[in-house]
Chains A and B, each alone.
Chain A
């Protein structure tokens, strides 16, 4: 049973608009969450994280929102750029390991 779910395998957005990637989790013991971006033929690279004691973290064009009551987090990218086209993984962390979602392919159309 997947503890971290990304229910949208793909998302297409027009350049300049907002991209919203969603992630749901089931384990309330997770105490931090991360987003990774992956280009083809490369390993995932860290993008942004949030502690479970916060509900928002912002870094430039990237903002992560955490709704603990709904066990839901989202990544907002605004404005979206063609270079943002990649697979985005959310991950949830507990004492010793990260649990990853299956990823969402984001395509930003010029």
Chain B
């Protein structure tokens, strides 16, 4: 595997379900990100991890819970979501968090539908 991978690619869940999104990067990067992309809206940054430590949480509701066990893996645990949480969830990684080296490499995303 190369680059940034995400599983599952599609997920349909009810509002009472608990599910997890997984992201893995094979680039040796130190920073990982979760973004949400709703239709016709900009990518919204949700969380940033740098060397496994969370450095940003952009006022994300607690029904989204990130986990970063190591620099290569990032999870987004979901529970009691709302239909308005339906969106494309993108994971990204970069060599470092700041500066011009912050070219981020994105995974293909998980298309989430909450019924």
Which residues of A are in contact with B by a Cβ distance under 8 Å?
A: 2, 4, 9, 31-32, 34, 36, 41-46, 49, 51, 89, 93, 95-103
- Smallest CB separation, A99 vs chain B (Å): 8
Assembly CA distance A38 to B19 (angstroms): 26
A-B contacts at CB below 8 angstroms, number: 57
Q: Known: A95-B98, A96-B48, A96-B55. Is A44-B42 also a contact (CB below 8 A)? A: no
- Smallest CB separation, B18 vs chain A (Å): 25
User: Of A4, A9, A98, A102, which one neighbours B104 at CB under 8 angstroms?
Assistant: A98
- Smallest CB separation, B22 vs chain A (Å): 15
Q: Are B90 and A43 in contact (CB under 8 A)?
A: yes
- Residues on A with C-beta less than 8 A from B97 are 96-97
Q: Known: A96-B48, A96-B56, A97-B56. Is A46-B43 also a contact (CB below 8 A)? A: no
Residue of A nearest to B103 (CB): A46
Q: Are B100 and A101 in contact (CB under 8 A)?
A: no
A to B CB contacts below 8 Å, 14 in the list: A34-B103, A43-B6, A44-B90, A44-B106, A45-B105, A45-B106, A46-B104, A96-B48, A96-B98, A98-B45, A98-B102, A99-B42, A99-B45, A100-B42
